Amino acid sequence: MYCPKCGKLIDDSSIFCNYCGSQVNEKIEQETVSDNNQSNVSFVEESSQSIPSTQNDYTSVPKKKNWVLRIGMILAIIGIVGFLAIALVGLIVWGKVYLYDGYNFTKVLCTLCIAFMILGSCGLVVGLLLSKNKAPEEKKNIVFSIILIILAVIFSVILIVNGIENENGKKQSSSNSSYSTSYEMDHATYCLLYMEVSNVKVTHSGNYAYITGTVTNTGTYKIRYVKVRAACKNYLGTIIDTDWTYAVDSSWLNPGESKTFQMMVRDSENNIRTADVTVVYD
């Protein structure tokens, strides 16, 4: 190497110049130290960049959106809101909550709500199982998802139970109607055998005679549209007028039940004293 002061060629290991006596290795040492410091700084910087900070691990690492959880939330919310809307409209408009026992469009809406809530609950459960991010905001989503699952399950059970009860009621009603047709096809015979007339009375008011009585269903089937005929008689027992009415109208008369009837017959001279009332089975 050359002496930085006099420029003479000297040995590389020399500390002082052999010609002028000046120190020559101090600069080399400083350069070596500065090179080592720079290499250490660059290594620390590279290390700090390669290792993520523990405090900012949620923000530095990019988040993957849990689409299964989000879709489950949307479906569950639609089903829950739909159920609450049906119940609220029923209370406001009709004063009663009509579900599967209401109109046809109400039944369709209830079915859609069940589908949305069941699919949403399944999506939420799968989304929670797939969720690995434990960030604070993700914990809020987990709590909200659990609440949605509970509400969706409760409302779905209510709708399903209501639908089953309504279907059972329909089956029972159809069986009763088919059960009753067995005697409705022979309506006249049933009336003749099991419809009993009693407590026949004749009263007068103004120009009319009022004939009242009671019919009783002594059979084992319910019945309706039962006619009774009154043969009105005078003192001598002669029939002077007749009339008829429905003792049982469109309302069903169950076995063992009784119902009163009344007929009003014009009798300006008060000649009607008795009446023979029989069931009309034609």
Q: Taking residues 259-271, report their average pLDDT.
A: 93
Query: Which of 175, 167, 149 lies closest to 110, judged by CA?
Result: 167
State the pLDDT confidence band at 216, using cuts at 50, 70 and 90: very high
What pLDDT was estimated at residue 278? 93
CATH architecture group of domain 189-280: Sandwich (2.60)
Distance CA 167, CA 139 (A): 42
Total-model pTM: 0.42
What lies within 8 Å, CB to CB, of 13 at 6+ separation is none
Query: Who wins on pLDDT, 40 or 240?
Result: 240
Task: Give me the residue spans of the domains in the chain.
Answer: 1-50, 66-183, 189-280
Task: Enter the DSSP assignment of 259.
Answer: E
What pLDDT was estimated at residue 55? 47
Query: Do 257 and 224 meet the contact criterion of CB atoms below 8 Å apart?
Result: no
State the pLDDT confidence band at 218, using cuts at 50, 70 and 90: very high
Q: CA dist 253 to 147, 188, 198, Å?
A: 51, 15, 16
5-48 pLDDT, tens digit each: 787 777 777 777 777 777 766 544 554 545 555 555 454 455 55
What pLDDT was estimated at residue 30? 53
What pLDDT was estimated at residue 168? 77
160 pLDDT exceeds 80?
A: yes
State the pLDDT confidence band at 150, using cuts at 50, 70 and 90: very high
Q: Taking residues 78-98, report their average pLDDT.
A: 86
Q: Taking residues 266-272, report their average pLDDT.
A: 92
State the pLDDT confidence band at 230, using cuts at 50, 70 and 90: very high
51-84 pLDDT, tens digit each: 444 444 444 445 567 788 889 899 999 999 999 9
What pLDDT was estimated at residue 26? 57
Q: What is the per-residue DSSP string for 91-133?
A: HHHTSS--STTS-HHHHHHHHHHHHHHHHHHHHHHHHHHH---
Find the length of the chain.
282
